[in-house]
Structure 1
Amino acid sequence: MTAGEDRNEPDTGRSDREMPPLLAKAMAARESTRDEARPEAVARQHARGRWTARERIAALFDPDTFVEYGQLAQPQIRSLGDGPADGLVMGVGQVDGVSVCAFTYDYTVMGGSQSPTNHRKADRMMEVAERNRWPVVFWSEGAGARATELFYESGTATTFIQLARLSGWVPIVTILSGPSFAGQANIAGTSDVVIATRDSTMGLSGPPLVRSATGEDLTPEELGPMSLHERTGAVDLVVDDETAALQTARRYLSYFTDVAAPPPPVAHDQTPLRTMVPENPRRAYDVRKIVEILADENSVMELRPLFGRCLSTSLCRIEGHRIGVLANNPMFGAGAIDSEGSAKFSRFVELCNAYDLPLLFLCDTPGFMIGTAAEKSAIVRHSARTLVAVSAADVPILGVILRKAYGLGYYAMGSDALDPDLYVGWPTAEFGGMGLEGAVNIVYRDELEAAPDDATQREIRDRRVAEWKERNTGLEFARSFLLDDIIDPAETRDLIARLLATFPAPAPREGRKHPIDPW
């Protein structure tokens, strides 16, 4: 061997297969954050009936696509001990080939609490998500701020402002599993949709702080059970377990992305639609059955089903076309839109409009709710929100009058005032500035009061109502071209599908249209 050859072979004292000490140290630190290195913590989480944070990530993403950010992060106060990823596993990967950004709090690390370090992690990740327009999934389980680390050396966390700025720009999903209080609840409240397991809990503050501030000594289940939040509309969908929550989240994302692409559309038999709306305007029916028949098989996702029940709001597909459906439900308050229904209406319109989903209105309403109870609920303000939301929408609007189209409630439900792209009625359609019986009582008051007895008064009222109804039927409106047409209910799906196929694709946007009102 020559001297030159000797100089070209430095003596490292180790085999090429051996890992350099610094690399080995870094890799060992990374491996220590994985479930395999933490069997006791994993066992505790499984004993609670919950997935670990890393199991959630593995279940969400396509294999070998997840890129983690901040895996080596630790608590700001190191004396607190080891905190793998500082209790927040996050990153981006592919879900059915679609880029999605995900965050999951790790309950095995200091109860999934939020800290200065993991807030910085979240802030960083959301900046990248906004830049790349990645949908966001939060898997939330934790009790808010970490009390032992309330001092932020690097300034105030911007997590909640960052999330608010994503509203209306990218789809935001929160899955609640286990207790979610304070900061975790704030994240849920800012999300487009909240999916919760039935045994999870949520509150703006956890039991210890509530006890300190108000004296109420409550368990998480007493303070914020899902049965409460489902009724009040704070959560959109309640499911049995984390498997169902993940499946539901994927289905939700499919209405806005190519995640969970559905099979070829299958249509229901449409002929039952011909008899589903009773000709007697006093008879109720469940409008959700109409939505199910109109939509592709297994494509309907109703949001907030136990809140604002006078109105049904659903995402669905018709011949594969994604669409949002708002339908008055005569099973509740005869379909009159109350304050809860108004809030549900306006938020759903904003959700669909933000992401360019066409809107289908199925109208059967006597108007907005009236009376002292309605006024105590601030119906004047809440009803106005529906008009503000729908007048600002720039997506295609399709209006179908099923039966009653009365008052200002009808005005908001896809009426001609909105210049809809389709405006048709079923043979049962009838119109009025108010309920026709109420109008007759006002206009013919003198004649009714002059009747010699109750029987005569009823006969006069019935005759006048019949006269007014004949002048205000959908058929008469169509003859005056105040409607585009009166259609066979069984042809509704085909008509909508053909029209949806004609609309151009939404133009690419460089910014959001508007945020989505959390309420």
Structure 2
Amino acid sequence: MTDPTPPQVAVSPGDDEIPPLLAKVEAARQATLDDARPDAIARQHARGRWTARERIAALFDAGTFVEYGQLAQPQRRSLGDAPADGLVTGVGLVDGLSVCAFTYDYTVMGGSQSPRNHRKMDRMLQVAERNHWPIVFWSEGGGARASELHYDGGMVTTFVQLARLSGLVPIVTILSGPSFAGQANIAGTSDVVIATRSSTLGLSGPPLVMSATGELLTPEELGPMSMHERVGTVELVVDDEAGALDAARRYLSYFTDIAAPSTATAPDQMPLRTMVPENPRRAYDVRKIVATLADEGSVMELRPTFGRCLSTSLCRIEGHVVGVLANNPMFGAGAIDAEGSAKFSRHVELCNAYDIPLLFLCDTPGFMIGTAAEATALVRHSARTLMALSAADVPILTVILRKAYGLGYYAMGSDALAPDIIVGWPTAEFGGMGLEGAVNIVYRDELEDAADDAERKEIRAMRVADWKERNTGLEFARAFLLDDIIDPGDTRSMIAKVLATLPPRPPRDGRKHPIDPW
């Protein structure tokens, strides 16, 4: 008997048809996008902040981003849908440079850290370490998700992996909105932290502080950015997320090609001849000198309001990237204090880790002295500068602008460090300590025997003038204790010529050393 049922023939879907299983996956994927969540997106915009996906779109070159873990959901599925489990991550190109990025999604459970999104991060950090991808974190959230504190997969490796990446690849954290607990830990391990003025930061958030101490605080009271900027927690504070993105792109640009030829312009160099007053008691802003020496628009000063006795920056000089350490006589006459020492040693470590040459612009009476300075443990902090320098193997270029006194000069690129070149400006002067102080000690008996204050003042002035004449940059150059005394207007050209002669960076498979978080 013949079967009346016709045979079933497999039919391929047409060009416009989507197989059911693929349709299901695509629907799940679409549900993670901003268009599928208009109410949540509107609330984020009302806070004055970008969404996670808007940040990704703004950071990466168009069409280059590859997302990892877009379909991830919470470990506890009873919590409901959580697009990408609150963390968007992947890799793409930023101005042509391969970069791995993470951004917490504040519209998903307050940007909290969960077992699944930690697993996403751990996975991406492994791949970033293998491929030496620079990392950008966009942080906004309050730490661990209280409803998912049990981790089925064991302890996360996020923070130890970040510590291993320090000094291997550039790590940038952008703070927008509240960033507490785990998010703050991420910031603390980064090379550079860029924060919007309205963002907040702390190792624990207001609810935990309230539970532990009884203090009822808002995020702005607990960790305001004005405070973090002042104490040096963050490197840069900007007005908004667009400014933060620009700063992050700019920071990464210093690591694309450290010795790229350049057609960049620079300001007129002749004003350098008069920027340093011949009177050593007169202050000036050394940052104007840095801006004049550098390619226009290339200077990025880090921690500008912390440790203000020293200005630290990255810049380009005729295309060559350099890390600049410059004493600023506007603050404490350029004497290096505890904050300046911390700033100094970290900048040396940052530059050395990535083989960036160091340019010292020296005008210091030495390390800070007095009871207030000693109370900051300056003995230890000052030693950190020498420890960092002793471990550095990058080229050093030194320009003595004016004062080169004591141990401060020793650290600021002195001949003890075997710089690749060390030159002075006509205003350069040297001494084991401030010359007036030295005169007071060496000629104490003569000064005490003076008939009156007028004679004592005359003797002191004569002795100081004599010592100054014997310790000028010109006399040091005559004794070949300097390579040269140069016209300040020739400084940029001289630096560029020396940088052009240096050998290329050696290839590296691993890191030289981590970068001290402080």
Identity of aligned pairs, percent? 81
Residue in 1 that maps onto 2:190: 191
8 Å contact kept, 2:191–2:350? yes
Q: Secondary structure at the match of 1:165?
A: helix
Unaligned segments of structure 1, at least 5 residues: 1-5
Corresponding position of 1:229: 228
Query: 1:242 and 1:450, CA in 2 relative to 1: closer, same or farther beyond 3 A?
Result: same
Partners of 1:265 and 1:320 within 8 A in 2? yes
Q: 1:294 matched to which residue of 2?
A: 293
SS in 2 for 1:492: helix
1:142 maps to: 141
Task: Give the distance between the partners of 2:403 and 2:221, measured in 1 at CA.
Answer: 42
Task: Confirm or deny: 8 A CA contact 1:98 1:258 kept in the other structure.
Answer: no
Give CA deviations for 1:400-458 in whole Å, capped at 9, x if unaligned: 00000001010000000000001000011111111111111111111111111111111
Q: Deviations over 1:38-66 (max 9, x none)?
A: 11111111111111100100011111111
C-alpha separation between the residues in 1 aligned to 2:112 and 2:13? Answer: 44
Alpha carbons 1:327, 1:363 under 8 Å: kept: yes
Distance 2:429 2:405 in 1: 8
The offset of 1:11, in angstroms, is: 2.9
The gaps in structure 2 that reach 5 residues or longer are 1-5
Q: Which residue identity lines up with residue 186 of structure 1 in the other structure?
A: N
**Whole-Å Cα distance in 1 between the matches of residues 294 and 410 of structure 2?**
25
Aligned to 1:73: 72
CA distance in 1, matches of 2:449, 2:359: 46
TM-score (norm: length of structure 1): 0.97
Deviations 1:181-224 (A, max 9, x none): 11111111110000011111111110111111111111111111
What is the aligned partner in structure 1 of residue 430 from structure 2? 431
Which TM-score applies when normalising by structure 2? Answer: 0.97
Written as runs of structure 1 = structure 2, the 5 A alignment for 1:116-515 is 116-257=115-256, 264-515=263-514
Aligned partner of residue 501 in structure 2, secondary structure:
coil
Aligned-partner residue type, residue 405 of structure 1 = A
Q: How many residues align?
A: 512
Q: 1:287 to 1:125 in 2, by over 3 A?
A: same
AA aligned opposite 1:331: M
- The amino acid that maps onto 2:309 is C
Q: Distance in 1 between matches of 2:42 and 2:277?
A: 57
Q: For residues 56-115 of structure 1, give each alpha carbon's deviation from its aligned partner in whole angstroms, at most 9, with x where no partner exists.
A: 000111111111000111111111111110000000001122111000000000000001
User: How far 1:168 sits from its partner (Å)?
Assistant: 0.3
Measured in 2, the distance between the counterparts of 1:77 and 1:35 equals 23
C-alpha contact (below 8 Å) 1:266/1:296 kept by paired residues: yes
1:517 alignment counterpart: 516
Q: Deviations over 1:147-206 (max 9, x none)?
A: 111111111111011111110000000000000011111111110000011111111110
Aligned partner of 2:112 in structure 1 is: 113
Q: 1:140–1:177: 8 Å Cα contact kept in structure 2? A: yes
**Contact 1:406–1:432 (8 Å) recurs in 2:** yes
Mark the CA change 1:55 to 1:137 in structure 2 (over 3 Å): closer, same or farther: same
Instruction: Measure, in 2, the Cα distance between the counterparts of 1:208 and 1:517.
Output: 30
Asked if the contact 1:60–1:246 (Cα under 8 Å) also holds between the matched residues in 2, the reply is yes
| Secondary structure of 1:501's aligned partner | helix
- Moved segments of 4+, more than 6 Å: none
Q: CA deviation at 1:30?
A: 1.0
1:347–1:517 Cα contact (<8 Å) kept: yes
CA distance in 2, matches of 1:223, 1:263: 45
Tell me if structure 1 keeps the 8 A contact 2:285–2:329.
yes
Which amino acid is 2:461 matched to?
D
Kept in 1: contact 2:122–2:161 (CA 8 A):
yes
